[in-house]
Structure 1
Amino acid sequence: MSFTRRDLLKTSAGIGAASMLPLGANKAFGQELSYKPEEGASLRLLRWSPFVKGDEDAWLANTKKFTEATGVEVRVDKESWEDIRPKAAVAANVGSGPDLMMVWFDDPHQYPDKLLDVTELADYLGNKYGGWYEGPKNYASKDGQFIGLPTATIGNAIVYRDSWVREAGWSEFPTKTDDFLELCKAMQKSGHPVGFTHGHGVGDGNNYAHWLLWSHGGQMVDENGVCTINSPETMKAIEYAQALYKTFIPGTEGWLDVNNNRAFLAGELSVIANGVSAYYTPKNDPAQAELAADIRTCPLPVGPVGKQIELFQVTSTVIFKYTKYPNAAREYLRFMFEAAQMDNWISGSSAYCCQTLKAYESNPIWTSDPNYAPYAQASATLRPNGYAGPLGYASAAVMADYVLVDMFAEAVTGAATPQEAIDKAEKRINRYYRV
Structure 2
Amino acid sequence: MTFSRRDLLATGLAAGTLPLVGSSPAFAQAAPTFTPEKGASLRVLRWAPFVKGDEDSFIANSKKFTEATGVDVRIDKESWEDIRPKAATAATAGSGPDIMMVWFDDPFQYPDKLLDVTDLATYLGGKYGGWYPGLEGYGKRGNQFIALPLAAIANAICYRQSMVEAAGFKEFPRDTKAFLELAKALKAKSKPMGFPHGKAVGDGNNYAHWIVWSHGGKMVDDSGKVVINSPETIAALKYARELYQQFIPGTESWLDINNNRAFLAGDISVTANGVSLYYSAKNDPKMADLAKDIKTVQLPIGPVGKGVELHQTTELVAFKHTKFPNAVKAYLQFMYEKPQMESWITASSAYCCPALKSYIDNPVWTSDPNHAAYKTASETLRPNGYSGPLGPGSAAAMADYIMVDMVAEAATGQRSPEDAVKRAEQRATRAYRNT
TM tier, smaller: over 0.9
TM-fit CA distance, 1:32: 3.2
Residue equivalent to 1:283: 282
TM-fit CA distance, 1:258: 0.5
Quote the Cα distance in structure 2 between the aligned partners of 1:34 and 1:378: 32
- Residues 82-97 of structure 1 aligned to structure 2 (within 5 Å): 82-97=81-96
Larger radius of gyration: 1
- For each residue in 1:120-166, what CA deviation from the matched residue of structure 2 results, as whole angstroms up to 9, or x when unmatched? 10011111100000011000110111111001110000000000111
TM-fit CA distance, 1:290: 0.8
Residue equivalent to 2:62: 63
Letter in 2 for 1:274: N
SS of residue in 2 equivalent to 1:289: helix
SS of residue in 2 equivalent to 1:317: strand
Quote the Cα distance in structure 2 between the aligned partners of 1:61 and 1:24: 18
SS of residue in 2 equivalent to 1:352: coil
TM-score under structure 1 normalisation? 0.93
Any runs of at least 4 consecutive aligned residues in structure 1 with deviations exceeding 4 A, and if so which? Answer: 23-30
Counting matched residue pairs gives 413
TM-score under structure 2 normalisation? 0.93
- For each residue in 1:262-302, what CA deviation from the matched residue of structure 2 results, as whole angstroms up to 9, or x when unmatched? 11001010000111011011111222111110000000000
Across the aligned residues of Structure 1 and Structure 2, the Cα RMSD in angstroms comes to 1.4
Task: Check conservation: 1:24, 1:327, Cα contact below 8 A.
Answer: no
- For each residue in 1:44-90, what CA deviation from the matched residue of structure 2 results, as whole angstroms up to 9, or x when unmatched? 00000001111101111111111111111100000000000011001
Task: Check conservation: 1:92, 1:114, Cα contact below 8 A.
Answer: yes
TM-fit CA distance, 1:24: 8.8
Structure 1 residues without counterparts, runs of 5 or longer: 1-22
- For each residue in 1:166-195, what CA deviation from the matched residue of structure 2 results, as whole angstroms up to 9, or x when unmatched? 111111000000000000000000011000
Q: Identity, % of aligned pairs? A: 64
Residue equivalent to 1:207: 206
Quote the Cα distance in structure 2 between the aligned partners of 1:161 and 1:141: 40
The answer on 1:355 being equivalent to 2:354 is: yes
Task: Check conservation: 1:34, 1:334, Cα contact below 8 A.
Answer: no
SS of residue in 1 equivalent to 2:169: coil
From the superposition, tell whether residues 247 and 24 of structure 1 become closer, same or farther in structure 2 (CA, over 3 Å).
same
Quote the Cα distance in structure 2 between the aligned partners of 1:86 and 1:193: 34
Residue equivalent to 1:309: 308
Quote the Cα distance in structure 1 between the aligned partners of 2:197 and 2:389: 25
Task: Check conservation: 1:25, 1:33, Cα contact below 8 A.
Answer: no
The answer on 1:346 being equivalent to 2:383 is: no
Residue equivalent to 1:331: 330
- For each residue in 1:314-335, what CA deviation from the matched residue of structure 2 results, as whole angstroms up to 9, or x when unmatched? 1000000000000101011100
The answer on 1:406 being equivalent to 2:405 is: yes
279-288 or 383-392, which deviates more: 279-288
Quote the Cα distance in structure 2 between the aligned partners of 1:52 and 1:65: 21
Quote the Cα distance in structure 2 between the aligned partners of 1:407 and 1:140: 27
Quote the Cα distance in structure 2 between the aligned partners of 1:242 and 1:344: 43
Quote the Cα distance in structure 1 between the aligned partners of 2:302 and 2:364: 30
Task: Check conservation: 2:396, 2:432, Cα contact below 8 A.
Answer: no
Residue equivalent to 2:101: 102
TM-fit CA distance, 1:408: 1.0
Residue equivalent to 2:395: 396
- For each residue in 1:398-435, what CA deviation from the matched residue of structure 2 results, as whole angstroms up to 9, or x when unmatched? 01000011111111222111111111000000001129
Structure 2 residues without counterparts, runs of 5 or longer: 1-13, 18-25
Quote the Cα distance in structure 1 between the aligned partners of 2:295 and 2:40: 47
TM-fit CA distance, 1:25: 8.7
TM-fit CA distance, 1:386: 1.2
